[in-house]
Structure 1
Amino acid sequence: MEKNILFIIFFAIFSSVNGQENNICGKIEYTYTTNLDYVNQEKYELYFNRKFSYSKEIDITSSANEKYQEDKQMGTQVNIVVGRKNTISKFYYNSIKSFYFRENFFDEVILVKEEKLTKSWKLHSETKKLSNFLCKKATIRFRGRDYIAWYTEEIPVPYGPWKLRNLPGIILEFYDTEKVFHVVANKIKVGKDNCLFKFDEKELEKAISLDAYLIKKEELIDNMFAEMSARRPKGSKPFKRDKNCDDCNKDIEVFDDKN
């Protein structure tokens, strides 16, 4: 009887120690910089453990803030709204089985379920240091852009910011070759304790498909043009959206059969 009790105690201690050795978790703060018509920055906090990662937008700017940009050709200033009215945070949720993201497009919140990333990364021998972590280089073509990512095997989980993932270690930086989209880690905390992060998966129940999301975006853009036309003086020509113009459909992601 005593031997059985001792064995149970030993097994419990061994399991606890072994579990801690296999645990890894942490929080990383990233800065997302996009440079399309103008430079925009957003901050995200990514929480991760072995089973999933959850990246949430922080420090959201209200649309009450504006900045002015000079139009040199017209000799005038135009208002550019910075931020948005709806300050519900965007997020990316990545588990072993599924991937979701929540977008805020024209102040409408859209929750989307995506398929797992199936494209293969090309791994390179180049290395560099980021926040004292040794990082390795990887490249991939994803939705119309060629990306360079720097990941560290010192944090051996297959996650990263935004939608890029499935490398031998967490991604601390990535950017496209045209310098349109750049994401880099600023603050990194890693540990082996308190790794049981909770995420309410009920938030994911109303997710739509990626195809439905793309249709919804087109509808919202068309609605915006209709509202702009409705505010024009009587007799003015309505705004028309040219979907084939070079500057009309600028976006980080290009969705077509090739990408």
Structure 2
Amino acid sequence: MTSSAFETTRPDSVTYLDRLAASDLGRSYKQRMLDELEVCAGHVVLDLGCGPGTDLEALAEAVTPAGSVIGVDHDRKMVDAARARTAGQTVVDVRHADIHDLPVPDHTADRARTDRVLQHVADPLVALGEMRRVLRPGGRLVMGEPDWETLAVDHPDSDLTHAYTRHVAERVVRNAAIGRQLARLATETGFTVPQVIPVTPVFRDVRVADRVLGLERTTRRAVEAGYFSEQAAQAWLTHLSRGPFLAAVTFYIVVAEA
């Protein structure tokens, strides 16, 4: 079930996040999120689910030495990596904590961001409530999340496509439709939502798509979960590897104000 077009070994989490951030797609949407955050010198900014610290340096530059940046992540490995990377940044403080229970006093932050975090959390509403609590009145939250139920992969056999996308939405991602839900959930938590920005990357190169989507690895999991037979999975991957290839998924950037 393998082809030279696909990665067969899952990259570790830090490598995957760094690789995505360095891609054209990553640089583009992250810059848009930073622009929408409208960080000013002296601001206190929260990066919630900061991972290995990919975005902390840009935030530190934006707040200047007059401000501060607090990174929060529940994964100790990510926290250690982020602390190592920002060791020379005196304005950056990385904390090991749960997004559902932030170690930040009420009305502390001017800005907050989450990037592909809420798709994985146990309770997005509780997490959003915590963000609302720690933001000052008038503070701004910028969130970026995919809507995996919009995942489209071209294939001559639409049944195989449906099997693959159902597996991703039902088994791979905890909150697969969070992208479309964000504006409503933020409003229910007490935010106003002045802007929702859809970003739809289109992949024409199967190798580029695979580095983001893990096509072969995800197909293998779909077989184990009963969404594909071995024969159907081989037919699916063979066509994808030989092309022409096209896949797309919608990513939502949501701007919310406290």
TM-score above 0.5, yes or no? no
Q: Going by fraction, where is strand more abundant, 1 or 2?
A: 1
Q: Flag the structure with larger Rg.
A: 1
Larger relative helix fraction:
2
Which structure ranks higher in relative contact order (CA pairs < 8 Å, sequence separation ≥ 6)?
A: 2
